[in-house]
Amino acid sequence: MIDRERLRAALAELGFDDVRFAAAAPAVRGALPEWLAAGMQADMAWMARTGPKRLDPQLVLPGAKTGIMLGVSYRSEEHTSELQSHSFISYAVFC
């Protein structure tokens, strides 16, 4: 079992601003299939090709139990107003 608070503290020490956890289970609902069917992925054909994997982490990492999403803010005091709503980058890890 993951000690979430201990892991969150260790990741904060490494510079991550946000840490979230989610079950690595198939998506119950979501708009991805409709979004892909509407061609919203434009020239990113790989998104349609890998659509099922995006809905079920078990297709990529069988046996994974938890998804760990990591966020890093790249907002600076100097550019706060410009980046108000677009200042986060995120990463996902499954274990």
Model pLDDT, residue 20: 92
Backbone conformation region of residue 72, classed left if phi is above 0, alpha if psi is from -120 to 50, else beta: beta
Residue 25: band (very low, low, confident or very high) from pLDDT cuts 50, 70, 90:
very high
Model pLDDT, residue 28: 79
pTM assigned to the model:
0.67
* 28 SS3 class: coil
Which pair of tokens denotes residue 71?
């966020």
Cα torsion at 50, 24, 19, 16 (round to 10°)? -50
Residue pLDDT, tens place only, 39-86: 999 999 998 899 899 889 999 999 999 989 998 887 666 655 554 555
Model pLDDT, residue 72: 86
* HSE (side-chain half, CA atoms, 13 Å) at 68: 14
